[in-house]
Amino acid sequence: MDNTVIFPVKLSLRLDWSEMDLFGHINNVAYFKYIQASRVHYWELTGVAASFEQTRVGPILLSTNCQFITPLHYPGNIVVEARMEFIKNTSFGIHHRILSPDGQIAAEAHDVIVNYDFNLSEKTPVSSQFRQAVEEIEGRVF
């Protein structure tokens, strides 16, 4: 595991029996569910989820991809780690790592998210409040 890159946001999840496929390992679709849970957890920590209810301005997923490294098996608990990769004018990227029960990297994923005004149906600049919250979480400047 690469310990030089810091992933400050961590989410523990339980693997569910229903996520197994015919071959006895966790189905690839479940990995995207874990990534989504991590993404939403990050948003909650920044306050974006709460402010969306009042402003209807918030994140919308543009793209996500996942590299599957090693299979996961039921039963067990995993940790999904997240870190901000970049913040641009109207978009940002989150890097996720799914760690197996023994702490090995089972998968890595990258999201690109657009800040979106759902009232106007258009992208909008990332707020300074969001950027500041991310910088506090990450301990670095974007």
- What would the pLDDT profile of 67-97 be if each residue is shown by its tens digit? 999 999 999 999 999 999 999 999 999 999 9
Domains and CATH numbers, the chain: 9-16+23-138 (3.10.129.10)
Instruction: Quickly state the pLDDT bin for 49 (edges 50, 70, 90).
Output: confident
Per residue in 6-23, pLDDT tens?
999 999 999 999 999 999
Instruction: For residue 96, give every residue at least 6 positions away whose Cβ sits within 8 Å of its Cβ, in sequence order, or none.
Output: 35, 38, 39, 80, 81, 82, 108, 109, 110, 111
